[in-house]
Amino acid sequence: MKKLIISALIVLSAFSCSKDHPIDDDGLLITPRQECYVSNFELLGADYLTVLTKQPVIDTTAQTVSVIVQFGTDLKNLFPQFTLASDCKLDPRIVGKVDFSDLANPKEYTVISGNRQISKTYKVLITVQPR
């Protein structure tokens, strides 16, 4: 009998949570937050160390992230890391190394707000440090 009561409580709590806190297609919590921006950016090489020569310049108006990478950086094997406003998500998701070697066509990432109503597409602009 105890097991039946515990099971019923678990099922009820799961249903009550899902109604109070909706989730999106990725299983992430949807919140009322409308903020939608990139607050920080890091770019790591194949050795998981930074390849940036200085802090990124994030322009939330122009929706760009501008960085300068060290001379000789392998642009085909980089790991971007975004820090976003609370409850935001990034599309496309980053699941491994990214090829940034086509500097004429910057990579684009869309930041989606916590309420999933606002989205802003950021371009990652990379400059290679001269020798």
Domain parsing of the chain, residue ranges: 22-128
- Please tell me whether the overall predicted TM-score, pTM, comes out greater than 0.85 for this model: no
Buried b / exposed e along 105-127 (16+ C-beta atoms within 10 A)? ebbebebbbbebeeeeebebbbe
The residue type at 83:
T
Q: What are the structure tokens assigned to 122, written together?
A: 């950021």
Q: Which tens digit of pLDDT belongs to each residue from 85-105?
A: 999 999 999 999 999 999 999
Residue 14 has pLDDT above 60, yes or no: no
Residue 16 has pLDDT above 60, yes or no: no
| Helices and strands (H, E) in the chain, number of each type | 1, 7
**Which residues have CB under 8 Å from 87's CB, separation 6+?**
29, 31, 33, 35, 113, 114
Task: State the sign of the Cα–Cα–Cα–Cα dihedral 7, 9, 14, 16.
Answer: positive
Q: Which fold has domain 22-128?
A: Immunoglobulin-like (2.60.40)
